[in-house]
Amino acid sequence: MSKRLIVAIDGPAGSGKSTSAKLVAQKLGYLYIDTGAMYRTVTYLAINNNVLKNKHAIINLAMNSNIVLKFIDGVTHVSVDGNDISEHIRLPEVNLNVSDISTIEEVRKILVDKQRKLAEENCGVVMEGRDIGTVVFPDANVKIFLIASIDERARRRAKEYDEKGVTITLEEVKANLQQRDKIDSTRDVSPLTKAPDAIEVDTSNVSIQQQVDLILGHVKQAAKKEGIELGNL
């Protein structure tokens, strides 16, 4: 009998994945894994090493870089070979290129292996991304697929930039999101798509707490089915 649950939360950028996943993980006492941060890390490294157009070099960066994710006080901290790059991976230039990096099949295979290993090493995981329920963990106990209108997603992302002091127009944010959606959903390898058995939630007009409560409701059902006690709920 399984002694842990894997909760997969997928969806496009700005749909509320990160915020919901973090809160669900905190409530359950589970490990939170932001897989998008891993792809962002490889993208940042490619930019920093001036190899954005060099597929072989990018694959080597993904393979040989020691990427460490730590979730501390509600914030995901990312370090590579001991250097904290948490702020760098959220820069607009990374946003503009991360979807292209994510289309590289070898990079995806490398990072998926790392993601599975992280889950295997921990008891109880909430993992969010774009292919968790379809590729990384197709047998996840709970699969959630979040969506939201493009205008709402753009507003959320623009607010994040504003809070960090980054100057970018709402129109630019919206255009970037639309381009990312197109690349993510049409790529040949692990495209962004809803798993047949995933529960779709439109977050356009619901609060974060409502999202979290809904997800936790499905987690409770899955735990009951598996005979697992959730002591924190």
Instruction: Detail the DSSP E strand segments found in 112-152.
Output: 125-129, 142-147
Compute the average pLDDT of residues 72-79.
83
Residue 229: is its pLDDT beyond 90?
A: no
The residue ranking higher by pLDDT, 103 or 70, is 103
- Torsional class of 72: left (φ above 0), alpha (ψ -120 to 50), beta (otherwise): beta
pLDDT tens across 156-173, in order?
A: 999 999 998 988 999 999
Residue 121, pLDDT score: 82
Which stretches of 123-169 are DSSP H helices? 150-163
Portion of the chain with pLDDT greater than 90, in percent: 78
CA distance 190 to 185: 9
Compute the average pLDDT of residues 126-132.
94
Compute the average pLDDT of residues 222-230.
89
Dihedral sign, Cα of residue 200, residue 202, residue 208, residue 211: negative
Compute the average pLDDT of residues 78-87.
93
CATH of 6-225, one of 1.10.150.120, 3.40.50.150, 3.40.190.10, 3.40.50.300: 3.40.50.300
What distances in angstroms separate CA 80 from CA 67, 77, 83, 89, one per listed residue? 5, 10, 5, 11
